[in-house]
Amino acid sequence: MTTTDRVVIFDTTLRDGEQSPGATMTHEEKLEIAEMLDDMGVDIIEAGFPIASEGDFNAVSEIARRSKDAVICGLSRANFKDIDRCWEAVKNAGKPRIHTFIGTSPLHRAIPNLTQDEMAERIHDTVTHARNLCDNVQWSPMDATRTEWDYLKRVVEIAIKAGASTINIPDTVGYTAPVESADLIRRLIAECEGGEDVIFATHCHNDLGMATANSLAAVEGGARQIECTINGLGERAGNTALEEVVMAMKTRSDIMPFHTNVDTTKIMAISRRVSTVSGFLVQPNKAIVGKNAFAHESGIHQDGMLKNRENFEIMRPEDIGLSGTSLPLGKHSGRAALRAKMDELGYDLGDNQLNDLFVRMKALADRKKEVFDEDLIALMRDEAADDQNEYLKVKRLRVVCGTDGPQEAELTLEIDGEDKSIDATGDGPVDATFNAVKMLFPHNARLELYQVHAVTQGTDAQATVSVRMNEEGRIATGQSADTDTVVASAKAYVNALNRLIVRREQTDVGYDEKDVSYKDV
Ligand code: KIV
Ligand code: ZN
């Protein structure tokens, strides 16, 4: 028997997280992430915004159909058309939920140009409509933390009366602070008619770096649902990170007597997967899931750790799914060792996937002596990119470098099944290579980001390259890893172009998310 209060975890990686520029995921990737969230014990999955695009609608419907234990929720603005579309998408879930919202602060009220009374009526009508379709309705006053108290209280009471069973209080622009966050929830529960009969949720953005603290403070004030994303993915500075709030409540249950249903040993695997599919690398010093979160470099720390790990560790790496020891694989390692290692890293691979990875691992071991966990994760990222039906593929690359440039690149690309080659020059080998790609596949996309990270240490380390491209507002990211930085760069660039081609096709058939705006109600 547990004596602590249960906090419901509502994950919005696939909705608020996917909304961050460049984080767009494919249909299959969304299904995979939803399955991982369900398997790790997340209570509610906000799977998307069904009216936003045909792609979003299909993803939410399929996630609903495949759901196991989790409630599947879709987002809708405060109009009947959005709500009907949302219901269509979630209704096949074992446990469906409609989430409807409207901006209630003075700034947000001005956008649809509704008076306070008109908006109040709209809230009553839309929540009633949602409730007639679905037993489980969540309502959010967007920008709640900048809404006048009297008006916030009034509209929350209207939503409760109309049948919403969860009232979410979003800090849409990351403006609140912990004391205020706790007070607001406490006051809403105490002073709103019906406030004791519903669940209050907290939904924080991280603009001032306080999302985790604000969410936990809201729980202290009486909220029993935290809205969050894996790796803190989300618009601007992101949303509250799931791994942070869950591990904070687990680690400090002495002062935060709350528990969740999340199997924390699955955190690392989903963090890696979300990083891969979103193209958003996790910063090395990120709490809980950063590469250095459990690394102890300095001599004094290492000495302390050897004497007693609790000297410098407040959580055990095993609690989030990291193995305590990390033995590298090499040229002579067999399939069984690779399978055991991948299981340990949280990858559940089928036989064919394992065989493909084994071939790549051997090829890598020929080029670098030891293959570390990070190398295998990078190989998995590349494999995911290769798996997709790609229009463009890097077939051959040779660069000529010298101190007295320009550098030259000879590149062969497979374009829609046909090999095409060209020589190009540039200011450095990467520039020459990118120029060659552009000559073979002319496009207007702007390169917005080019980043290189060494996966492990040593001069034979693999480099992970991330790029972000922007073509008239369509954003796509690409990643690749190789012991040769220029090869990794070419593959990452081509990977981003392939994703951009998919985005173009979606736009051409009118699926573009830009068609809807939070400003319309
Ligand atoms: O941040 C926000 O206000 C939101 C709402 C749509 C709930 O994401
Ligand atoms: Zn949000």
Pairing status of strand 71-77 against strand 392-400: unpaired
Contact (CB, 8 A) for 39 and 69: no
Q: Is the dihedral of CA 147, 148, 149, 154 positive or negative?
A: negative
User: 140 CB less than 6 Å from ligand 1?
Assistant: yes
pLDDT at 521: 61
User: 172 CB less than 6 Å from ligand 1?
Assistant: yes
Tokens standing for residue 69: 């234990």
Contact (CB, 8 A) for 37 and 70: yes
Best residue among 11, 46, 140 to mutate for probing ligand 1's pocket (most ligand atoms within 8 Å of CB) is: 140
Superfamily of domain 8-278: Aldolase class I (3.20.20.70)
User: 97 CB less than 6 Å from ligand 1?
Assistant: no
Strand, helix or coil at 364?
A: helix
Q: How far is the CA of 235 from the centre of ligand 2 (A)?
A: 7
Contact (CB, 8 A) for 102 and 122: yes
Smallest CA separation from ligand 1 atom 2, residue: 172
How far apart are the C-alpha atoms of 86 and 3, rounded to whole Å?
37
- Confidence bin at 393 (pLDDT 50/70/90): very high
Average pLDDT over residues 98-126: 96
Point out the ligand 1 atom lying closest to the alpha carbon of residue 205: 1
Pairing status of strand 8-11 against strand 225-228: parallel
Point out the ligand 1 atom lying closest to the alpha carbon of residue 168: 7
Q: How far is the CA of 17 from the centre of ligand 1 (A)?
A: 11
Q: Is the dihedral of CA 32, 34, 38, 40 positive or negative?
A: positive
Q: How far is the CA of 351 from the centre of ligand 2 (A)?
A: 39
Helix, strand and coil percent figures for the chain, each rounded to 5? 45, 20, 35
pLDDT per position as a tens digit, 240-274: 999 999 999 999 999 999 999 999 999 999 999 99
Q: 462 or 434: whose pLDDT is higher?
A: 434
User: 101 CB less than 6 Å from ligand 1?
Assistant: yes
User: 170 CB less than 6 Å from ligand 1?
Assistant: yes
Contact (CB, 8 A) for 185 and 167: no
User: 105 CB less than 6 Å from ligand 1?
Assistant: no
Give the amino acid at 228: C
Strand, helix or coil at 71?
A: strand
Among residues 161, 210, 202, the alpha carbon closest in space to that of 153 is found at: 161
pLDDT at 424: 95
Among residues 127, 73, 81, the alpha carbon closest in space to that of 101 is found at: 127
Per-domain residue ranges of the chain:
8-278, 294-321, 323-385, 388-505
Closest listed ligand to the CA of 139 = 1
pLDDT at 46: 98
Q: How far is the CA of 275 from the centre of ligand 2 (A)?
A: 19
Q: 297 or 103: whose pLDDT is higher?
A: 103
DSSP-derived letter for residue 328 is: P
Q: How far is the CA of 18 from the centre of ligand 2 (A)?
A: 11
pLDDT at 298: 53
pLDDT per position as a tens digit, 476-495: 888 888 889 999 999 999 98
Point out the ligand 1 atom lying closest to the alpha carbon of residue 103: 3
In this structure, of 84-98, 187-201, 374-388, the range with the lowest mean pLDDT score is: 374-388
How far apart are the C-alpha atoms of 19 and 205, rounded to whole Å?
13
User: 142 CB less than 6 Å from ligand 1?
Assistant: yes
Q: 323 or 314: whose pLDDT is higher?
A: 314
Q: Which residues contact 97 (CB under 8 A, 6 or more apart)?
A: 44, 71, 72, 73, 74, 90, 134, 136, 137, 138, 166
Q: How far is the CA of 93 from the centre of ligand 1 (A)?
A: 23
DSSP-derived letter for residue 14 is: I
Q: 103 or 405: whose pLDDT is higher?
A: 103
- Confidence bin at 331 (pLDDT 50/70/90): confident
Helix (H) and strand (E) counts for the chain?
Answer: 16, 16
Smallest CA separation from ligand 1 atom 1, residue: 172
Q: How far is the CA of 172 from the centre of ligand 1 (A)?
A: 6
Alpha helix ranges (H) inside 346-484: 351-367, 373-387, 429-440
Q: How far is the CA of 110 from the centre of ligand 1 (A)?
A: 17
Q: What percent of the chain stands above pLDDT 70?
A: 91
Q: What is the mean pLDDT of the chain?
A: 90
Smallest CA separation from ligand 1 atom 8, residue: 16
Per-residue pLDDT for 56 more than 90? yes
How far apart are the C-alpha atoms of 457 and 250, rounded to whole Å?
33
Per-residue pLDDT for 315 more than 70? yes
CATH fold of 388-505 reads Double Stranded RNA Binding Domain (3.30.160)
Point out the ligand 1 atom lying closest to the alpha carbon of residue 12: 8
- Confidence bin at 225 (pLDDT 50/70/90): very high
User: 228 CB less than 6 Å from ligand 1?
Assistant: no
| C-alpha atoms less than 13 angstroms from C-alpha of 427 in its C-beta half-sphere | 0
Average pLDDT over residues 150-170: 98
- Confidence bin at 511 (pLDDT 50/70/90): very low
The angle subtended at Cα 242 by Cα 236 and Cα 244, nearest 5°, is: 95
How far apart are the C-alpha atoms of 273 and 161, rounded to whole Å?
41
Domains 8-278 and 388-505 share a fold: no
Q: Which residues contact 246 (CB under 8 A, 6 or more apart)?
A: 9, 260, 262, 264, 267
Contact (CB, 8 A) for 314 and 251: yes
How far apart are the C-alpha atoms of 475 and 464, rounded to whole Å?
20
Phi, psi of 413 (to 5 degrees): -115, 140
Among residues 7, 121, 20, the alpha carbon closest in space to that of 475 is found at: 20
User: 240 CB less than 6 Å from ligand 1?
Assistant: no
Contact (CB, 8 A) for 83 and 50: no
pLDDT per position as a tens digit, 63-75: 999 999 999 999 9
Q: How far is the CA of 101 from the centre of ligand 1 (A)?
A: 8
Contact (CB, 8 A) for 32 and 486: no
Cα 187 versus chain centre, distance: 32
Q: How far is the CA of 203 from the centre of ligand 2 (A)?
A: 6
- Confidence bin at 423 (pLDDT 50/70/90): very high
Phi, psi of 305 (to 5 degrees): -65, -40
Which residues are bridge partners to 471 per DSSP?
474
